[in-house]
Chain A
């Protein structure tokens, strides 16, 4: 194997390996990697910061949502109580109006009843007159003699009393 022919293979390779490795380490890697490392650290810091900001934003959003929900609940309660109050008020108002209308119609009914009673009384009165006149005319037609007004009226009274 040529690899074990150390007299020809050892020093030339070792010398150039050492030289190239020194160049690689100090001339390439030490010059470039730290720059990259700095950027990568910056990026990690930025990502962490952004994540932190996002977390904070989410927290505040959550808080806002909570507050919104609480406010919504409160206004809903308020609205409910407002509705209940309005309903009660409306009920009371309609009750009052109903009562007033009741009273009004009762008065009207009373007046109408009074008028009816009046009319019926008047009608009764005129009925008596008509009956008396009728009876007088009938008696005059039948007997030919005019009965006295008193007799006829008393007879009509007696008949109406029956």
Chain B
């Protein structure tokens, strides 16, 4: 079986608007499922906010506190305003990553598609640019200028800094996409090993146990990676926001 088959986009409901193909695909379906899961998590968790939280509320608060303290550490007191945005990005990436690991149900991982991750990265990048120019105007360009440098060296560093700034959404997107894709390919490869080795006629199933055990361990690792990559995405987003808010 082709391990890349799992990334195939299937059009569930072909649609087009203004010459653009906007079909409802399996990717969109799993984004919608992620959205529904987040909606349940959020609305149940905050249905009746109590001073002494119940389990759901404590769970939502835990995630919110995690994002808020991350922003507080990296951006400072100003960062709290952007908590909903970073929270939304973090939750979306996290839930898409985690849902993609569900076995049996034919789960699709939207974050294993560079289109989705670059879309998310450009949301962050756009917000960073807008915040930067709104707060500092053209002074925002001083972000790229090294302090106390002579003109020649300064120009040189300026070019590098601008390039690195412009490459941020791409590195952000490719990091997440590559991690997700690699993990799912690995899982699929070992899954095919289970089938291939387990079908030996002499001793049925025995040889398939080893790759199955590896797959169990890999699933645990992929769970970790799913959480860590969502964290990394949100962390980098808050670091970029810090540049826009504080200009170093």
Contacts and interface: CB of A to CB of B under 8 A. Distances in A.
Interface in A1-59: 1-6, 8-18, 20-21, 23-25, 27-30, 32-40, 42-43, 46
B32 A15 contact: no
A152 B123 CA distance: 162
Contact of A28 (B39, B85, B181): B39
Number of contact residues on B: which range applies? Answer: 35 or more
Interface string B83-99: 11101100110000000
B116 A13 contact: yes
Interface string A88-107: 00000000000000000000
Interface in B27-78: 27-28, 31-32, 34-35, 38-39, 42-43, 45-46, 49-51, 53, 57, 60-61, 64-65
Contacts, number: 131
A12 B49 contact: no
A4 B27 CA distance: 14
B182 to A, nearest CB: 12
Contact of B28 (A1, A2, A12, A25): A12
B170 interface: no
Quick one: which of B8, B35, B110 has the most chain A CB within 10 A? B35
B170 to A, nearest CB: 14
Q: Tell me the interface secondary structure of chain A in the complex.
A: helix
A37 B9 contact: no
A17 B173 CA distance: 14
B11 A12 contact: yes
Of the candidates A8, A15, A34, A38, the one having the most CB atoms from chain B within 10 angstroms of its own CB is A15
B9 A17 contact: no
B32, B64, B115, most chain A CB atoms within 10 A = B115
A16 B35 CA distance: 11
Closest 8 pairs (CB-CB, A-B): A16-B28, A39-B49, A15-B22, A32-B46, A32-B42, A2-B7, A13-B115, A17-B119
Interface of A: 1-6, 8-18, 20-21, 23-25, 27-30, 32-40, 42-43, 46
Interface of B: 4, 7-9, 11, 17, 20-25, 27-28, 31-32, 34-35, 38-39, 42-43, 45-46, 49-51, 53, 57, 60-61, 64-65, 83-85, 87-88, 91-92, 110, 112-116, 119-120, 123, 177, 181
5 contacts: A9-B9, A24-B88, A29-B88, A36-B60, A39-B49
